[in-house]
Amino acid sequence: MSYELNKKIRKIEPYEPAKERVYRVRLDVNESPFDVSKEMEEEIVAAIKSVAFNRYPDMLAEETARQFANYYGIRQEYVTVGNGSDELISILLSAFLEKNDNIVTLSPDFSMYAFYGYLYENKVTPLQKDINLMVNIGKVIDYCNTHDVKALIFSNPCNPTSLGIKREDIVRLVKNVFCLVVIDEAYMDFWDESVMDIVDEYDNLVVLKTVSKAMGMAGLRLGFAIAGENISRALRTVKSPYNVNSLTQAVCTTVLKNKTLLKEHTEEIIANRRILQEKLHDMSRRYTALEKVYDSVANFVLVKTPVASEICEALADRGVAIRAIGNCFRVTVGTKEENEIFLSELEEVVKQIKIIE
């Protein structure tokens, strides 16, 4: 007898991070270009020194949740912490649904929703977005209400499309379906259509947030679920008790207190996005290989091109990491300097690429 992995696990391909090589410029995973640990070094060191390593962490990360709630002007009772928002997606799907329950995702979208759905043996149906990558809310409502759907989960703004759904449409959706609606607002700091402030009005709404993007702390692994009383209580009951370690709590609390710095970084990324987007638009007028530049409301720009993987490989050879996604490439907004390097390398690459018409 030998041990055999469960069938569903055997089929999964391991998650492949960008090839382990040294890049001059990394614009492939939507991180912030600003490392807060450099700018707040003294305060962060002091916070770390105050941590008692021999003690278990605060289960609810109360202080961190308080600062988070304060940053966004919401109520702390509605905030539950997770080890990255990834963990919260996993908890929501594993604990709130049963095997064979129907989950709806939108496609294209963040791959982790369908991944966890698959892992927990839910039935995942991806609803295709339209030709312009937009979502028809009416159709989603109809689908959910006619197919015994238990949960709907998507990102807004969406990774990878960079497009967003307005708050009024989200509200219409949440009001008109019976299922749980999970809205991943990882990129909402770069837009202004959040529904975090109305979670207490709808008992089927959960909003996910993370410190990995606008806040520049992807390395610390901290996410938040914002929901009304019932869902929040359930989440706290099923999450593992010490899911967020004391160092992460201490550092994130300290950084979250520095609203000014975080808002400045966010504003700068938004300003850089505008410039990057305009320059990509310019370039797309000059090179047919760049078919379309989407109007981003996130911290990355999506460009449609039939030679996405060729462009990404050529850029990687030049020390610039971006992501190919189907017939598009996605580039994270970096500092002005990083964006300039990316743009000039991209121009060199596109000049040389032949398109077979």
Ligand X SMILES: *Cc1c(COP(=O)(O)O)cnc(C)c1O
Binding piece for ligand X, criterion CB under 6 A, among 172-180, 212-220, 251-259, 337-345: 212-220
Give the single-character DSSP code of 309: H
User: Which residues make Cβ contacts (< 8 Å) with residue 322, sequence separation at least 6?
Assistant: 27, 28, 311, 312, 315, 329, 330, 331, 332, 342
Tell whether residue 102 is a contact of ligand X (CB under 6 A): no
Helices (H), 217-295: 229-238, 246-257, 259-286
Please list the residues that pair with 126 across neighbouring strands. 105
Tell whether residue 210 is a contact of ligand X (CB under 6 A): yes
Closer to ligand X at the Cβ: 184 or 310? 184
Our separate counts of H helices and E strands in the chain read: 13, 13
Contact between 51 and 246 under an 8 Å Cβ cutoff? The reply is: yes
Q: Put the strands of the sheet holding 323-325 in their side by side order.
A: 292-293, 300-304, 328-332, 323-325
Tell whether residue 64 is a contact of ligand X (CB under 6 A): no
> Site for ligand X (CB under 6 A): which residue of 129, 133, 180, 184?
184
Tell whether residue 216 is a contact of ligand X (CB under 6 A): no
Tell whether residue 284 is a contact of ligand X (CB under 6 A): no
Task: Report residue 40 as tokens.
Answer: 């707040």
Task: Report residue 90 as tokens.
Answer: 């996993």
Q: How far is the CB of 43 from ligand X (least distance, A)?
A: 23
Helices (H), the chain: 7-10, 36-39, 41-49, 62-72, 84-96, 112-119, 137-146, 167-176, 229-238, 246-257, 259-286, 308-317, 336-352
Tell whether residue 84 is a contact of ligand X (CB under 6 A): yes
Which 148-177 positions form the footprint of ligand X (CB under 6 A)?
155, 159
Q: How far is the CB of 283 from ligand X (least distance, A)?
A: 25
Tell whether residue 218 is a contact of ligand X (CB under 6 A): yes
Closer to ligand X at the Cβ: 128 or 344? 128
- Among residues 56, 49, 45, the alpha carbon closest in space to that of 245 is found at 56
Q: How far is the CB of 195 from ligand X (least distance, A)?
A: 16
Q: Looking up tokens 């003294």, which residue turns up?
A: 42
> Site for ligand X (CB under 6 A): which residue of 86, 101, 189, 310?
86
Map residues 11-30 to x or -, x wherever contact with ligand X holds by CB under 6 A.
-------------------x
H or E segment to which residue 125 belongs? strand 123-128
Q: Looking up tokens 């996410």, which residue turns up?
A: 223
Binding piece for ligand X, criterion CB under 6 A, among 14-22, 79-87, 115-123, 170-178: 79-87
Give the single-character DSSP code of 343: H
Tell whether residue 266 is a contact of ligand X (CB under 6 A): no
Closer to ligand X at the Cβ: 115 or 287? 115
Q: How far is the CB of 344 from ligand X (least distance, A)?
A: 27
Tell whether residue 110 is a contact of ligand X (CB under 6 A): yes
Nearest residue to ligand X by CB is 84
Query: Given the rule CB under 6 A, which residues bind ligand X?
Result: 30, 84-86, 110, 155, 159, 184, 186, 210, 212-213, 218, 223
